[in-house]
Amino acid sequence: MSGTPRVSVCVANYNGAAMIAGCLDSVLTQKGDFEVEILVHDDASSDASVEIISLAYPVVRMIRSADNVGFCIANNRMVAAALGEYVLLLNNDAELLPDALHHLLAAAEAAPSPVLLSLPQYDYDSGALIDRGCLLDPFYNPVPNLDPERREVAMAIGACLWLPRNLWNELGGFPEWFGSIGEDLYLCCRARLVGYPVRVLDVSGYSHRVGASFGGGKVRDGRLASTFRRRALSERNKTYVMALTCPALFMPVILPMHILMLFCEGVLLSLFKRRTAYLTEIYLPVFVAIYRRKSSLWDLRTAIHQHGQVASTDFFSVFDWIPYKLRMLFKHGLPRLI
C-alpha cells in the first residue's frame, strides 16, 4: 500500500475457510486506481481460516478475537481500526463483481450528502438476482426490491453495505448487544430516520452464498429453510429495531400489534408442527428480551430521536404495506427449521 486508503473493506469471518479466499480475491482484483485496505476480524474460528489468511493474504490486516463475539462487535472493531474515508462491510460468503468498488466510490463522491449504498445481490450458485436492496413491511420484515427503477430503499443487506466512515461514527455503529442478525436493518433505519438515504446502484453487484456464514435464511426445494437460532435472533433484533426507530406517532399501534402477531405466530407454528420449541425457543424469548432490556432500549431510542427526524411519510415511503410473511406462507408454505 503506497498511501492512505480511500476504502476500507471489512470482512467479519467465522469458520469461513471454505469461502474466505473467494471473498478476498474478489476484493484484491477490483478495478480502479484508488487505495483499498482489507481488514478481517476472525471471530475465534476453529477451522483453518486464520492459517489461510495469514499465509495466502499477507496484505490483509487481521484482528484475531480470543472469543466468539458476533458480527456487531466484529464490525465495530474493524471500523474503529479502519483508515479509509469509506468503509464497505462485506460478508465472508460474498464476492464482489470486478468493478464494484469503482462504482460505489463514484456514486458516493457524486452524492451531495452522505449516503448508505449497496449493489444488486445475486445468488452464488444460480446467478439469479436476489434483490436490489430491500423495502420493509409494516412489521419491519425485509421485502426484496426487484424493481430495476427503484434506487432508494429501506435497507441494504449487511453482506455488502457501504457508507462513509464519518457517518458510521455519527450513527454509532452497531449496538453490540444485537450480537448478529438485524444489525443492518438497525443501521439503515437509524440513518433514514435522521435523513441519510439508503440507495442501491443499478450497476455491478455481488454474489452471495446466502446463509453460508450463519445458516438458514434461504429457499430450498421450494421451502424457506432456516434454523431456530437464526430465526430467534431475527425476530428479537427486528423487534429491537422497531422499538428504537418507529416514529412516535405510529409506535403505540405498530409495536403492540407486532408483539401480538409474534405470539400468535408462535402458537400456530407450534400447533401445526406439533413442536412447542417454535414458541419457547423463538418467540417467547423475544418478549423476555424486550422486557429485560427496556431501559437501554428507551435510552437509545431517546438519544436517536432527540436529534430530529424526517417526516413519517418520508420514513415510511420505502415500506410495502402487505405483510411479507403472508406472501412467503402462500408461496412456500410453513418454514422448515432445524
Give tens-digit pLDDT for 146-195. 999 999 999 999 999 999 999 999 999 999 999 889 999 999 999 999 99
Helix (H) or strand (E) segment spanning residue 218: strand 218-220
Q: Ramachandran region of residue 160, left (φ > 0), alpha (ψ -120 to 50) or beta?
A: beta
pLDDT digits (tens, 9 = 90+) for 306-333: 877 788 999 999 999 999 999 988 887 8
Grid coordinates given for 193 = 430516520
Instruction: Give the model confidence (pLDDT) of 234-259 as tens digits.
Output: 999 999 999 999 999 999 999 999 99
For the segment 49-89, what is each residue's pLDDT rounded down to a tens digit? 999 999 999 999 999 999 999 999 999 999 999 999 999 99
The closest alpha carbon to 92, from 142, 141, 45, belongs to 45
Taking residues 302-306, report their average pLDDT. 91
Sign of the C-alpha dihedral computed for residues 163, 159, 139 and 145 taken in this order: positive
Task: Report d(CA 256, CA 290) in Å as an integer.
Answer: 12
- The pLDDT of 224-240, averaged and rounded, is 90
At residue 334, the pLDDT reads: 81
pLDDT of residue 1: 45
Cell 449516503, residue located: 115
Query: Percent of the chain scored above 90 by pLDDT?
Result: 87
State the Cα–Cα distance between residues 11 and 103, nearest whole angstrom.
19
pLDDT at residue 329, as a whole number: 86
Is residue 160 classed as helix, strand or coil in its secondary structure?
strand
Look up the CATH superfamily of 7-208. Spore Coat Polysaccharide Biosynthesis Protein SpsA; Chain A (3.90.550.10)
- Predicted TM-score (pTM) of this structure: 0.94
Q: Is 218's pLDDT higher than 80?
A: no
Where exactly does CATH 3.90.550.10 map onto the chain?
7-208
The number of helices, as runs of H, and strands, as runs of E, in the chain is 13, 16
